[in-house]
Structure 1
Amino acid sequence: MEPNGQSSGERTSNGRKPTDCPARALSPLIGILVMIAVTVVLAAILTVGASALGTGGTPPTAGFDLSADAADSTIELEHAGGDAVDVRELAVRVEIDGVALENQPPVPFVGAEGFDETPTGPFNARSEPIWRAGESARVDLASTNDPRLRAGATVTVTLVTDDHRIATLETTAR
């Protein structure tokens, strides 16, 4: 007689010997559960990794107005509406008649080669660096900065933040 109370010669109705524990029936179930758990963990890791790669940030969406005054040799930008812009992350590129200024404005700044005076508004390093709707920023071009600003010249200003162009503006200098 076996320890489970059955004789070793006894068989069940399907012709198999009875056992205490159906261990073979649990093995496939455990294997499937482990595979599902591994799949869920890998999916979570891939999701987190993919979202981390895409966190370059969304560039601000804003509107701007541009004016250029040849008599005063100034270029002024007004934040007309939309998202606020952190000028510490902003690159400003100025072209006159399709030619880039020799010295570009390194915003924010106070005194820079190619510019007279200090810039106004958020372009001034001593001002609040967040440029909000309704605020204007102005730079005064020095006479040593080429090309010179003259009446009738086409002035193009491109604003870039985090390698994303947020605006390209064009006006005719008055």
Structure 2
Amino acid sequence: MSLAVRRADRGIAPVAGVLLIAITVVLAGGVATAALGGPSPTVPPSAVLSLSATDDRIAIDHRGGDPIDVAAVTIRVSVDGEPLDSQPPVPFFSAAGFHPGPTGPFNAASDDTWRVGQTASFRVAGTNDPTLAPGKTVTVRITTDGQPVATLETSVEAG
């Protein structure tokens, strides 16, 4: 009879081992799916930027921090709180509401990465409304992939 009890003990051990392995595989699959399959939040670059504006030119200096992927950038410009009718489609070379040939990484022929020490600029055409004029306040909002990077503000100076 002692022999029968041993067989029963041995029969439970393999079943318990298989059950533990199955639970481990299921849990590992769940963790992997959660870690790899779910959308990861995009973290916008952290950058120190400065803004200047003259009669028709808006310039943004990248003074420090992370490089910025210009292909992922959206720029929104307001003058005295009113958005420009045409917004700059960075990167670009020629666009409605702007003079051709923006400089730095905003130019379509430039590298897609905006690095420390680079200035990106564009000139607003007189056909874009509202126009830049000395004393007006310009606000530029910069986002990458929909995430805010910076909101900059300055007064327009005579060029």
Is TM > 0.5 for Structure 1 vs Structure 2?
yes
Q: Which position in structure 1 is the counterpart of 2:60? A: 77
Q: Which position in structure 2 is the counterpart of 1:99? A: 82
Of residues 34, 42, 47, the one that matches 2:26 is 42
Q: Does 1:87 align with 2:87?
A: no
Rounded Cα–Cα distance in structure 1 between residues aligned with 2:128 and 2:138: 14
Rounded Cα–Cα distance in structure 2 between residues aligned with 1:43 and 1:90: 39
Please tell me the root mean square deviation across aligned C-alpha atoms, in Å: 1.8
Q: Which position in structure 1 is the counterpart of 2:93? A: 110
Rounded Cα–Cα distance in structure 2 between residues aligned with 1:155 and 1:27: 79
How many angstroms does 1:19 deviate by? 2.6
More helix by share: 2
In structure 1, the gaps of 5 or more residues are 1-16
Q: Kindly tell me: are residues 20 and 135 of structure 1, through their superposed partners in 2, closer, same or farther at Cα, counting changes over 3 Å?
A: same
Deviations 1:125-174 (A, max 9, x none): 00111000010001100111111111111111111111210111111111
Q: Does 1:60 align with 2:45?
A: yes
Rounded Cα–Cα distance in structure 2 between residues aligned with 1:26 and 1:101: 79
Identity of aligned residues (%): 39
Q: Give the 4+ runs in structure 1 shifted more than 4 A.
A: none
Deviations 1:19-57 (A, max 9, x none): 368332134433433343233323322332223324343
How many residues align? The count is 156
RCO comparison, higher one (Cα < 8 Å, 6+): 2
Under a length normalisation based on structure 1, what TM-score does the superposition of the two structures give?
Answer: 0.81
